[in-house]
Structure formats: structure tokens, C-alpha cells
Amino acid sequence: MMSGGGTATVASVFPVGSNQSWASPFLVQTWDPTALVVTPASTAYGLMRADGDGSVFFVSWAGGTMWSADPTLLPGGPASSRPHAAADGEEVHVVFRGPSGEVIDTVLENGSILSTELIGAVTSGPPAVLVGSTGPVVVFIGDDGVARTRLKQSSGWVDGPALASDPLASRTPAIARDADGSFLAAFVRASDQAIVVAVLQGSAWSQPQVIPSAFTADDPQLAIGTSMGALAFRGLDHFGYVAQRSVDGAFQAVEPILTANPQLACAPSVAAGASGADLELVFVDTLALAHWTRFDAGSFGPPQFVGAAGPPSCVTVAVAP
């Protein structure tokens, strides 16, 4: 899903099969898409925050050539951060920072709003959500630069563990679920914009690990596939970089995304791979052209052109679990 300022939003779909090419159901809106999630039944939800008043809308797609005709306004806005979303079966949790800093969770299903509630947290930074075996987990950076969590239990939302680390920047945390059920999270250190990662296992965080040579002024991006994972980011020089993560949890050295590595208009987006591939990665170059590449057989393949986004522009990728 991609867009540029003042242009139509376009969502491109890649059907796996004999005819592997990008289709483009058009979503004729001028808002910047900020989150994309796909459920196991391949229903897609696109979340957008209006450029003007910060209202958050969603659209859905369940096949065919078009997204839902009219974007639906989410309650609780206007949002003071971009929304973040994660699937829980066919339900989708959408979180964002409300007008007074409160974190709001809205649940969607079958293209409709099921519920909206405050999760009992106030933050200066954008929250992120992921669903584990016991329910949704929201991770956010508090006013003190500490990464904090809220957990949804049968009795409601409760405090989870905080991460003991150097102060962190108010960026959207990147979180991904590992094969053992633990959560891998990436943050940006406030002092020098270094990317640090930590694992949330049960009720405790691991010791934060600084990824060597990984610095960004954007939100970091994480994905874990069936046989490997990756941290992807736009460096301070605006080139795209990736650090592969092996099955034992160790990160390899940071490398350019591509041999002929382009400068990027914004952070890349990465997702677990489809059709047996390890990872899917999309990016927009400084010409506002969106590209997709797949990590398979040990490297990213040649990038394939997806479409023109129009500056300023960003792109998001998601794959059905």
C-alpha cells in the first residue's frame, strides 16, 4: 500500500501462482496510508490518518478489483500518532495515540468495528500492537524514554514489564513474534539514533542489544519468516539497509538491501515471506517509485517495479499468515 502527498492511494496485490504480477485495486483517497494488515482468510485492512485533522479511517479488501467504497472513521480520534495494527485470527487490533496522549485500541472484524476502548496508558510516542498466545500486547515509549507494555487479559488491560535500557526515542517500536512465542522488538536509542533490540519472553525483557552500524531517524522495521528474520531500516544517509537474523536469534552484520542500493524516500517495509520465501521487502526511492524485492535462497532478488507513488511517499507490505 503506498501513497504520495496529494495523490490517490494505491494498493497493489501480488497473487501467488503462475501469473505473478502486481494488480492495483485503486483506493481514491488523498490520505497517507500508515498501516496494512492481512488476516488468515486474506482479508486486508488499510489504516490511514487524514493529513488535516488527524482522523483515522480504515478500508478493507476481500478480493476483487476494489477496496471498500467508503473509508470508515474510527472512534477515539483525532490521532496524535500514526495507527498500528495486528491480526488476531480474523479480528484486527488497531492502536493509536489519542488527542491527549491516551492509547486507544479498536477491534475490527469482517470490515466492521467491533469495539473501542482505552487501554489505560498515556504516552508521548506512537504505540505498536502484536497478538501473542494470551492476547494482544501493546508496546510504547513513555514520557521518560522507557519502553513499556500493556497486556490484554480476561479482566482487562494490565501493566506488563518495562524494558531497562538507555532512554529511547519516541518512535513506533517494531515488534515481531518468534517461533517460540516470544516477541522480538526494535527501538531507537535517543542519544545517538542507534537501533537496539530486545526479546520479551513471558514476563521479562532480555538485555537490550545494540545492532552495530544500525542508525536511523525513522521507525525501524522487523519481520520473522519461517527460517530467518530481518531488521530493515533507512540509514542516516537515506540508503536502505538490512541485518539478517538467523534461527538461533543472532543478527548478522548490517548490509545494503541491494547491490545497487538506492536512496529511499522513507523507511522500507518488511514482512514474512509468502510461497516459501523468507521475506518480502518494499521501498520507495527518491524518484517516488515503489519497488518490491523478495529474500529467497540467501539474498534479495532483483527489485520489481510496483508503481509510482508521488512525493512525499511511503509504502507498506503485509502478507497473510
223 within some domain: yes
182 within some domain: yes
The set of residues, in sequence order, having a beta carbon less than 8 Å from that of 22 and lying 6+ positions away, is 12, 13, 14, 292, 304, 306, 307
CATH code of 84's domain: 2.120.10.70
On whether the CB atoms of residues 274 and 281 are closer than 8 A, the answer is: no
Mean pLDDT of the region 40-48: 86
- The DSSP output letter for 167 is -
Q: What is the pLDDT of residue 313?
A: 66
Which position has the higher pLDDT, 168 or 134?
Answer: 168
129 within some domain: yes
321 within some domain: no
pLDDT band per the 50, 70, 90 thresholds, residue 188: very high
pLDDT band per the 50, 70, 90 thresholds, residue 32: low
Q: How many CB atoms lie within 10 A of CB 261?
A: 13
Cell numbers standing for residue 45: 485492512
Residue 122 scores a pLDDT above 70: yes
- Quick one: how far is CA 125 from the chain centroid? 15
Mean pLDDT of the region 47-72: 80
Q: What is the pLDDT of residue 75?
A: 93
Range in 62-76, 96-110, 167-181, 237-251 with the lowest mean pLDDT: 62-76
Which residue bears the cell 513474534? 177
Rounded CA-CA distance 138/88 in Å is 13
On whether the CB atoms of residues 267 and 314 are closer than 8 A, the answer is: yes
Residue 178 scores a pLDDT above 80: yes
158 within some domain: yes
Mean pLDDT of the region 72-87: 91
Q: How many CB atoms lie within 10 A of CB 294?
A: 20
Rounded CA-CA distance 71/87 in Å is 19
On whether the CB atoms of residues 43 and 62 are closer than 8 A, the answer is: yes
Q: What is the pLDDT of residue 3?
A: 42
Residue 114 in 3-state DSSP? strand
Q: What is the pLDDT of residues 233-283, one digit of tens each?
A: 999 999 999 999 987 889 999 999 988 888 998 899 999 888 778 888 989
146 within some domain: yes
Residue 163 structural domain: 2-315
Residue 22 scores a pLDDT above 80: no
Rounded CA-CA distance 140/129 in Å is 9
Residue 21 scores a pLDDT above 80: no
Q: What is the pLDDT of residue 245?
A: 92
Cell numbers standing for residue 180: 517460540
Q: What is the pLDDT of residue 11?
A: 47
What does each C-alpha distance from 311 to 5, 160, 212, 215, 286 come to in angstroms? Answer: 6, 40, 31, 24, 8
| Helix/strand/coil percent split, the chain, to 5 | 0, 50, 50
Rounded CA-CA distance 259/112 in Å is 44
Range in 59-68, 218-227, 256-265, 281-290 with the lowest mean pLDDT: 59-68
What does each C-alpha distance from 123 to 40, 186, 308 come to in angstroms? Answer: 31, 18, 35
Mean pLDDT of the region 271-296: 86
Mean of all residue pLDDT scores within the chain: 85
Mean pLDDT of the region 287-298: 83
Cell numbers standing for residue 88: 488476531
320 within some domain: no
Range in 61-70, 165-174, 185-194, 239-248 with the lowest mean pLDDT: 61-70
Q: What is the pLDDT of residue 6?
A: 35
Mean pLDDT of the region 116-136: 91
Residue 140 scores a pLDDT above 50: yes
Q: What is the pLDDT of residue 127?
A: 96
Which residue, among 59, 57, 55, has the nearest Cα to 46 in the 3D structure?
A: 59
Q: Taking CA 204 as the corner, what is the angle to CA 203 and CA 205, rounded to the nearest 5 degrees? A: 140
pLDDT band per the 50, 70, 90 thresholds, residue 215: very high
Q: What is the pLDDT of residue 65?
A: 62
Q: What residues are paired with 272 via a beta bridge?
A: 279
Q: Please state the domain count of the chain.
A: 1
Tell me the percentage of the chain whose pLDDT exceeds 90.
48
Peptide bond just before 312 cis, omega within 30 deg: yes
pTM of the model: 0.89
Which residue bears the cell 539514533? 193
